[in-house]
Structure 1
Amino acid sequence: MGTQQLHLTPVEQAPSSASYRLQVAEVIDETADARSLVLRVPAELRERFAYKPGQFLSFRVPYAGKLLTRCYSMASSPHCDALPKVTIKRVADGRVSNWMNQQVQAGDWLEVLPPAGHFCLSQSHPSAGEHELVLFGGGSGITPVFSILKSALQTSARRIKLIYANRDEASVIFKAELRQLAKANGERLQVVHVLDSVQGFLTAAEVRQLVRGHAGAEFFICGPGPFMDTVEGALLALGEAPARIHVERFVSPPDPDELLAQEAQARAASLDSACESLSVELDGQRHEIACQPGDTLLQSCKAAGLAVPSSCEEGFCGACMCRVEEGETQLARNDVLSAQELATGWTLACQSRPSSARVQLKFPD
């Protein structure tokens, strides 16, 4: 993928919608198959690239005449790190992850979308800081979890337990930093390593044992699918509240041709929609707007001049999440929302189209 390297110039907005060119300030080799990229954000973009602990950045990389989009979580903390840092683990046959690990150097320019994601440590919720944190990271899933861990240590007095699963000791990302943090924070931070090569894969019984005495904690889980399913299932079986269980699943968007085909199919299927009005609550204000057949909720909002939140517009970042309070919609693509969120009315404005005469939406404050 070396011949596809980006050669981007400073600060002007990149050609792709909502993306910008950022320079790589530093490259850190974390393990044999993972590295971190520290990004320099110019002063005029700092507000645009302000982020919450646990969020990710989306990168657009040219490959074989197409732009491939990949999301990588930030391992840095906005509370104690001067610059944002993403960590990328090499994936077998991964076009972008291998290029990031092999070709990108300090000084290169990358096309980046602003931060997105809802796998976040909340500082504004009324109960924020009251519950202890139990964090589960598997492999490169440690990345957003590490951001949350560092931020919680910096901004609260919460007790934290990290359960970190890896293939073997050589695969442990941030090993030295975790050791230093555990030493500096005493009994407040407990780090438990689980190595597949020694103990085997984490089981539900082991999860129950590890969380004993931590009922009512706030849980964050990120890692391979089977790992997350095991942990989440064990917590739910113990009666932990779903609202306090946060799960982040890494996904790769389809290639551009596939996205275009999906969009055309979804638009054609919605042309007969009888939607007559769209009611949108944004920043506490209610707006009554028109909706055109075939348009997504996001397209209708933008056509009406509403500055609703959005970023990738491809269904994988979650920036345009909103709740359907009345009416019906059809969601064409979803790589973000959980079954519980879908059941409680959440949708993605960029991928959802009205399927009833009236639809009422609310964007979160």
Structure 2
Amino acid sequence: MTTYEKLTRPSRFTDPATWGAFGSQWHSGEQKTLQCCSVRQETHDVKTFTFQCADFSALSFEPGQFITLSLVINGQAIARCYTLSSSPTRPFAFSITVKRVPGGVVSNWLHDQLKPGDNLKASGPAGSFTPVGHPAAKLLYLCAGSGVTPLMSMTRAACDMVANLDIVFVHSARTPADIIFHGELTRMQADMPGLRVIDICEGLGDASHWQQPMGRLDLPLLSQHVPDFKEREIFTCGPQGYMEAVKALLREAAFDFAHYHQESFDIAVLNEEPLIEQAAPLDQQSVFTVTLARSGKTFSMPGHQTVLSAAKKAGAIVPSSCSQGVCGTCKTALLEGTVDMNHNGGIRQREIDKGLRLLCCSKPTSNLVIDR
């Protein structure tokens, strides 16, 4: 059993029997009311928001997973995914770390409006970007910008459990002032013998002294500072361009990608930019009827579209966020009919067996009746 797998087994952290005085366990897929406990400024454009469940439930999650916030901003209901930056070993208070995105509706609202004592709704954890199930004693974490958050959760968990792991944590940032969690990672490195932190900055900014690497991560730099990188399990998170560059340098090094893992979608982009579906040629379209069981509303849709897209065009209110089959926000019971669903971990097999489907990645193959 790996160190991380122990996080999901009953223990003094996760045994529900120990929670009687506090409340129940918050499982994946459930929606809870959260209360903001604190707001901490990490850098000039990054804040950490710490929450607790209003009913004192403990959040059961794997390091690297995310929750989905359900917000109402200017009268509009909006759902957004945010990675948990805290450790699952501390399940009663958990955090997200958010970078302000210029023009971003949700990130700016969180930075400007959310304060301690405020309540909001959130759906339970999801996501497959986690070291649980990947046994390895030697790990390499590669991240850029706010992509540090899932890897910080993994590192905090390892530190809390006094794990006997060899972790190299490589964080790329614009300047030293943009390095998120710099102080905490420096302290953790001093306390955890198996942790080595390497910060790479493109420029100095206002810093007068900088002893760590300058520039961008490339194969020569990685080979110099982590010469055994090909022997490590690699986890990567950051902007899409950064992750593509990492994959390119690893391909150049003939790295075995069976030991490579990356966040399956760019949360920062999807949080602020809707995806656009490509229309199929008219002669390739099949048309199906969709009935919303609760409202009785019926609409027609072509078979090349997702049910979520068609439902929203028809005026149905369906919570959604990632549009990639990852977050689970649009999970809905399919009462009649069949769909072709291609998800990315946002739904469990037992939920599928019960008739649930993710509307964002489901295309109809017959007429449908859904629980909306």
The correspondence for 1:85, drawn from 86, 92, 95, is: 95
Cα offset, 1:65, TM superposition: 3.4
Cα offset, 1:210, TM superposition: 3.6
User: What amino acid does structure 2 have at the position aligned with 1:172?
Assistant: I
Q: What secondary structure does 1:151 align onto?
A: helix
1:51 aligns to 2:61 (yes or no): yes
| Structure 1 residue aligned with 2:203 | 197
The C-alpha deviation readout for 1:328-365, integer Å capped at 9, x for no partner, is 985689899xxxxxxxxxx9675133669xxxxxxxxx
CA gap 1:313/1:26 in 2 versus in 1, 3 angstroms: closer
1:183 aligns to 2:190 (yes or no): yes
The correspondence for 1:135, drawn from 141, 144, 149, is: 141
Q: Is the 8 A contact 1:136 1:162 kept in 2?
A: yes
Cα offset, 1:318, TM superposition: 1.6
1:22 aligns to 2:38 (yes or no): no
The correspondence for 2:222, drawn from 193, 196, 207, is: 207
Distance in 1 (CA, whole Å) between partners of 2:271 and 2:51 is 26
| Structure 2 residue aligned with 1:60 | 70
The correspondence for 1:106, drawn from 112, 116, 124, is: 116
Q: Is the 8 A contact 1:131 1:158 kept in 2?
A: yes
The C-alpha deviation readout for 1:29-48, integer Å capped at 9, x for no partner, is 111111111111245643xx
Alignment of 1:176-255 (within 5 A): 176-186=183-193, 188-198=194-204, 199-248=214-263, 249-251=265-267, 252-253=269-270
Q: Is the 8 A contact 1:59 1:69 kept in 2?
A: yes
1:31 aligns to 2:43 (yes or no): yes
Distance in 2 (CA, whole Å) between partners of 1:182 and 1:271 is 59
The C-alpha deviation readout for 1:182-217, integer Å capped at 9, x for no partner, is 01113x111001011042222343234343213231
CA gap 1:18/1:157 in 2 versus in 1, 3 angstroms: closer
Q: What secondary structure does 1:232 align onto?
A: helix
CA gap 1:316/1:64 in 2 versus in 1, 3 angstroms: farther
1:173 aligns to 2:212 (yes or no): no
Distance in 2 (CA, whole Å) between partners of 1:297 and 1:66 is 22
CA gap 1:225/1:314 in 2 versus in 1, 3 angstroms: closer
Q: Is the 8 A contact 1:29 1:35 kept in 2?
A: yes
Q: What secondary structure does 1:234 align onto?
A: helix
The C-alpha deviation readout for 1:122-141, integer Å capped at 9, x for no partner, is 1xx3x62x331100111111
CA gap 1:83/1:163 in 2 versus in 1, 3 angstroms: same
| Structure 2 residue aligned with 1:145 | 151
User: What amino acid does structure 2 have at the position aligned with 1:133?
Assistant: L
Distance in 2 (CA, whole Å) between partners of 1:170 and 1:99 is 23
User: What amino acid does structure 2 have at the position aligned with 1:88?
Assistant: V
- Aligned-residue Cα RMSD (Å) equals 4.1
Q: Is the 8 A contact 1:88 1:140 kept in 2?
A: yes
Distance in 2 (CA, whole Å) between partners of 1:294 and 1:119 is 31
Distance in 1 (CA, whole Å) between partners of 2:102 and 2:322 is 24
Q: What secondary structure does 2:326 align onto?
A: coil
User: What amino acid does structure 2 have at the position aligned with 1:50?
Assistant: S
CA gap 1:264/1:69 in 2 versus in 1, 3 angstroms: farther
CA gap 1:314/1:166 in 2 versus in 1, 3 angstroms: closer
CA gap 1:313/1:178 in 2 versus in 1, 3 angstroms: closer
Identity %: 27
Distance in 1 (CA, whole Å) between partners of 2:158 and 2:251 is 24
User: What amino acid does structure 1 have at the position aligned with 2:41?
Assistant: D
CA gap 1:264/1:179 in 2 versus in 1, 3 angstroms: same
Distance in 1 (CA, whole Å) between partners of 2:73 and 2:151 is 30
Q: How many residues of Structure 1 are paired with residues of Structure 2 in the alignment?
A: 286
Distance in 2 (CA, whole Å) between partners of 1:120 and 1:211 is 22
TM-score of the superposed pair, with normalisation by structure 2? 0.65
Q: Is the 8 A contact 1:18 1:312 kept in 2?
A: no
The correspondence for 2:323, drawn from 301, 315, 332, is: 315
CA gap 1:202/1:41 in 2 versus in 1, 3 angstroms: same
